[in-house]
Amino acid sequence: MLFRRFLRIVLSLFLLLNIMAAFHAYKFTHFYPANEVVKKRPEDMNWWDKTKAIVVGVRFPKSVNSVTPDTTYKTVNFKTADGIPIEAWYTEKSKAKGTVILFHGHGASKSKVLTEANYMYTLGYSTLLVDFRAHGGSGGDVCTIGYKEAEEVKLAYQYLVEKGEKNIVLWGISLGAATITHAISEYHIEPSKIILEMPFGALTDAVKGRVRIMGLPEQPIATLLTFWGGTEQGFWAFSHNPSAYAKSVNCPVLLQWGAKDPRVTREEIDAIYKNLVIPTKKLVVYESAGHESLCKKETLKWQAEVRAFLN
């Protein structure tokens, strides 16, 4: 009798934990119009607000492009196979050395990487800044943390190939970096060089990082969130693995990471670096940086590394 009661309690808790994980995974992969999101600081929440946040998660507002390039640019539009409109900004430089395509992180937008793009422009490169689906000026409200977004990398790459560009460089930060590795593995695109800044090693690792900064135990929460996030979006999330995708890269790579990064561990970065089988690769660690723009945090060092790599 006691064993049956104990078993019912355990099963009930397991069911409740899965329901909570499913809600949280859904909220993390969806963005909502800003006017539908009521943001409150934890200290301003009442008991009901906190209960809802714990049980079903919180809504994230869709990012917006708060500024535009200060040089002449044109807006370019693509469309994914499932009909999602993708927006990009193309800044063409006269007698350019090539073109750098820049990809932002989760919850950000192309306007957030304008500082990096402006520096690429001063080095003599045209730039193409892309909003992933569900971000900035692009359509959709669902983010698959780099799985389906690999198509956006391919579309931007193909756009430049069709324009006759021969020297195409891919740059990405966090989600953007991880998505570049997936696009190379999935679509066999062949950029001249790539710059990867703080990519997660696997989707499970990315979820662990998020759970970690919330002060919660990584397991079993990370496994459940990964499972439900992939299941809800129609793919096996445990196979979404940038460290494995790295084996498909066959061009020079500059891999960069902040030593104070609370989301992406050194072990993840080392795994990606190890799996880069190409001879021309470099790992640069920024000692004072966390999970943030390395360009803005350690500007001179970042500029020197990027300049040496591109030129």
C-beta separation of 191 from 213 below 8 A:
no
Q: What is the mean pLDDT of residues 180-195?
A: 98
pLDDT digits (tens, 9 = 90+) for 201-242: 999 999 998 878 767 777 888 898 899 899 999 999 999 999
**In a shared domain, residues 12 and 74:** no
Strand-pair partners of 32: 61
Residue 35 lies in a domain: yes
Token couple for 274: 């190890």
Domain boundaries, position 19: 2-60
**In a shared domain, residues 118 and 190:** yes
**In a shared domain, residues 31 and 66:** no
Dist. CA 139–CA 133, nearest whole Å: 6
E strand or H helix at 51:
helix 47-56
In the block, tokens 């044109």 appear at 74
Domain count, the chain: 2
Residue 221 lies in a domain: no
Dist. CA 137–CA 125, nearest whole Å: 23
- Residue ending a domain, among 18, 38, 60, is 60
pLDDT digits (tens, 9 = 90+) for 163-182: 999 999 999 999 999 999 99
Dist. CA 88–CA 110, nearest whole Å: 8
Q: What is the mean pLDDT of residues 257-268?
A: 96
**In a shared domain, residues 253 and 300:** yes
**In a shared domain, residues 38 and 102:** no
Residue 213 lies in a domain: no
Q: What is the CATH number of the domain that holds 270?
A: 3.40.50.1820
> What SS3 class is residue 239?
helix
Q: What is the pTM of this model?
A: 0.92
C-beta separation of 123 from 116 below 8 A:
no
Between CA 289 and CA 19, with CA 241 as vertex, the angle to 5 degrees is 95
Residue 225 lies in a domain: no
CA nearest to 111, candidates 136, 87, 81:
136
**In a shared domain, residues 105 and 245:** yes
C-beta separation of 169 from 188 below 8 A:
no
Residue 222 lies in a domain: no
